[in-house]
Amino acid sequence: AEEIFRLSDKLSGVGQLAAGVAHEIRNPLTAIRGFCRLMEEGSTPTQMRYLQIVQSELSRIELIVGEMMALAKPAVAVFRSEIVRNIIEEVVTLMNAEALLHNVSIQLDLPKAPVIIQCDVNQMKQVLVNIIKNAVEAFHESGVIRITLRSKEDFIEISVEDNGPGIPEEDLELLGKPFFTTKEKGTGLGLLVSRRIVQAHGGTLHVRSKLAEGTTVLLRLPLNFEPAMDEND
Ligand code: ADP
Ligand code: MG
């Protein structure tokens, strides 16, 4: 049966603590990266290969730490009136190279009339990049991603649909958990970060998936959202 899963708030106390610690990890990482660069000079080809591995693993740690920090202290959203179509098109332009590399084509189904919402354009782009990236990464061979924008009475709907392998039922309930990933190089934080951003925009993020048929991520964002005053500490 088709499984509809609503990401619920599963960021545990441990997740919060880890996010706080993430900040402290950043400085030593910068030092390590700097010394790696210095060591490259005069190193043998074998040492060079090892240094490249060290640096690519460093990049991975930086990615995880960056996402954890985004969770711990989300950047203050700057709300402006934005044309949703433009945001989607800009993100797709950005993602097309990676999609082509994976033999994935991205199809757009966007209304002609401009749809405008109040949002932080960079955060919205981050959400779309995370979702589209997941779809691209899900395909084993080639595939199609279909992005649809619909304007309803008082909200808009953006759906990102792929015909990839889908998500097993037992994994669907783990989607909202910090660090849940099925990828060798995944962080398991992308959906969580995305959901946080969407919530801060008064919206919702749903994942619907069926094995061997594909996955649809549905974003709903209110048309007339009154952002709350900044209450970050
Ligand atoms: P990451 O991409 O780093 O693994 P995410 O939070 O973005 O972390 O995604 C968590 C997991 O959800 C992925 O590892 C994958 O198993 C699953 N997933 C997300 N989107 C899709 C999709 N479109 N198709 C199949 N699986 C998906
Ligand atoms: Mg991801």
**Residue 2 pLDDT greater than 70, yes or no:** no
216 lines ligand 1 (CB under 6 A): no
Q: pTM for the whole thing? A: 0.82
Note whether 82 and 124 are within 8 A (CB).
yes
What is the band of 3 on the pLDDT scale with cuts at 50, 70, 90? Answer: very low
Helix/strand/coil for 120: coil
| Rounded CA separation 179/175 (Å) | 9
Residue whose CA is closest, atom 18 of ligand 1?
Answer: 134
Rounded to the nearest whole angstrom, what is the distance from the C-alpha of residue 183 to the centroid of ligand 2?
A: 9
What is the band of 1 on the pLDDT scale with cuts at 50, 70, 90? Answer: very low
Helices within the chain (DSSP H only): 13-40, 45-72, 84-101, 121-138, 169-172, 190-200
Average pLDDT, the chain: 88
pLDDT tens digits, one per residue of 78-96: 999 999 999 999 999 999 9
Note whether 163 and 216 are within 8 A (CB).
no
| Average of per-residue pLDDT across 211-220 | 97
Helix/strand/coil for 117: strand
Rounded to the nearest whole angstrom, what is the distance from the C-alpha of residue 130 to the centroid of ligand 2?
A: 5
Asked if the ipTM is above 0.90, the reply is yes
Q: Which residue has the tokens 């000079």?
A: 41
Helix/strand/coil for 160: strand
| Average of per-residue pLDDT across 51-65 | 91
- Pocket mutation for ligand 1, best pick of 134, 146, 179, 182 (most atoms within 8 Å of C-beta): 134
| Rounded CA separation 14/11 (Å) | 8
Rounded to the nearest whole angstrom, what is the distance from the C-alpha of residue 24 to the centroid of ligand 1?
A: 27
**Lowest mean pLDDT, pick from 4-8, 190-194, 215-219:** 4-8
pLDDT tens digits, one per residue of 104-157: 999 999 999 999 999 999 999 999 999 999 999 999 999 999 999 999 999 999
| Average of per-residue pLDDT across 209-232 | 86
Q: Crossing angle of helices 45-72/13-40, nearest 10°? A: 150
| Average of per-residue pLDDT across 39-47 | 95
